[in-house]
A and B are shown apart, each in its own frame.
Chain A
Amino acid sequence: MNIAVRRGRLAGDVELVLRVPSDLAFVSEAVELVALHTPAGILSPRRVQFNLRTVLAEALANAITYGNREDPTKHVEVRVDARSDGIRVTVTDAGEGFDPSSVPDPTAPETLEREDGRGLFVIRHLVDAVDFNAKGNAVCLTLRAG
């Protein structure tokens, strides 16, 4: 796993690109690499510690498990655009995509005690915006500055 760090045109702008193998054992290391290289001062340390790390772990786990189905020949790409007004994290897998509107509410009485199914719900609550591409194999998470 390697990370490419590029400086943007404006001072402080940074673009990170990370290729993560389709193995859940790499999630923690990938999250720490992104957190380490994300410029300080855009998000509060608390939001980097909790919101950024949690949603990236969620998105990576979804991409590896459901997108790439843990196929070792496939990778997940993580692209981070860090600017003064916020951070956008795009996680793209090599899968067929899915319909995010088909995910049931994990807080409903009939699903509350399920072991899985909370990932997207957690993501939606911890970021300012969630956008999927048309195919459903890339999710863009926006955390506004602050």
Chain B
Amino acid sequence: MTFSLKKDAKGVVVVGVDGQLIVGNRQELKQKVLESLDGGSRKFVIDFSTTGYIDSSGLGVLVSLSKKIREQGGDLRLAGLNEDLQTLFELTKLDTLFTIAKTPAEALAAF
């Protein structure tokens, strides 16, 4: 299973991305997060600790989800990026659009 969703005690949804987030599976992530948003969740952390690579479609779906969540008064944060993925966000300047924490625990503590 590529994506796993868990809700912590404070109601923050942590989404694990195992393997890759690319053009072939981005809709699955979008659907799962939007279902959770429709169900009332407003705070999300996407955990990339076990993610090998993300393509531009994956980046695009994160931008889209972040917008939709903000429109509902929520927040989407990122965590667990390895050095290469962090560089990807920096070179595309998407690090300026997202709050990025080193670890999921750090992201959860900051909510």
Contacts and interface: CB of A to CB of B under 8 A. Distances in A.
Interface of A: 24-28, 31, 46, 49-51, 53-54, 57-58, 61, 65, 106-107, 112-119, 121-122, 125
- List of 3 A-B pairs having minimum Cβ-Cβ separation, nearest first: A118-B56, A115-B60, A61-B23
A65 B24 CA distance: 12
B97 interface: yes
B108 interface: no
A125 to B, nearest CB: 5
Contacts of A113: 63, 67, 97
Given A25-B24, A115-B63, A53 B53 contact: yes
24 contacts: A24-B24, A26-B24, A27-B24, A28-B20, A28-B24, A28-B25, A49-B53, A50-B85, A54-B53, A57-B22, A57-B53, A57-B55, A58-B55, A58-B56, A61-B56, A107-B93, A112-B96, A113-B97, A115-B61, A116-B57, A118-B59, A121-B56, A122-B55, A125-B91
B40 interface: no
A141 to B, nearest CB: 14
Contacts of A49: 52-53
A28 B24 CA distance: 7
Given A118-B59, A118-B60, A46 B84 contact: yes
A27 B53 contact: no
B60 A112 contact: no
Nearest to A55: B55
Contacts of A116: 56-57, 60
A127 to B, nearest CB: 13
Nearest to A23: B24
B22 to A, nearest CB: 5
Contact of B22 (A28, A106, A115): A28
